Amino acid sequence: MIQTENIMQYAQDSLDYGVIGLLALMSFITFWLFIERMMFYSSVQVDTYEHRDELELDLTDNIGTISAIGTNAPYVGLLGTVVGIMLTFYSMGDTGAVDAKEIMMGLALALKATAMGLVVAMPAIIAYTIVLRKVERVLTIFDVLQEKRDKNTHVSM
């Protein structure tokens, strides 16, 4: 019985630190990439690019990662919740007694993983949207400059 309790406590701790730790890492990576992209956009020299595709490749670096984190963080949280609920039911079945307090505490602790997944996902999606809009603006600036160059080339001929 003591061995089972130790295993259950280890599983609960692993769930807490593993899922919450992974979500914290995902949040940190999102923040880091968002700051890096904003710094790049503020320093990009559009007139040094000859082709729009080269500029677009540089502008869209790492934004796929931000998007992937935003879309997958809720699933990581949900996985933590499912495992937490499974642990709660297992411990209920193991003791053979139904204690409402233990059930509610177990479920509440399991649901924190879902909440954390949403807390990570929402800012990531907002960051992705901001970055995507910035990419569109810089590409539009490039297109306007290209039109002006083309116009000046045709006028001078």
> What does pTM read for this prediction?
0.83
- pLDDT (tens digit per residue) in 21-49: 999 999 999 999 999 999 999 999 999 99
Answer yes or no: is pLDDT of 104 > 90: no
Of residues 109, 77, 98, the one with CA closest to residue 9: 109
Amino acid at 139: L
Tell me which long-range contacts 31-34 makes (C-beta under 8 A, separation of at least 24).
31/123, 31/127, 33/62, 33/63, 33/65, 33/66, 33/127, 34/66, 34/127, 34/130, 34/131
Answer yes or no: is pLDDT of 150 > 70: yes
Helices (H), the chain: 2-43, 52-59, 63-95, 100-156
Highest mean pLDDT among 17-21, 56-60, 103-107, 112-116: 56-60
Confidence band for 3, pLDDT divided at 50, 70 and 90: low
Q: Which pLDDT score is estimated for 101?
A: 79
Confidence band for 156, pLDDT divided at 50, 70 and 90: low
**122 with 53: CB under 8 angstroms?**
no
Confidence band for 51, pLDDT divided at 50, 70 and 90: very high
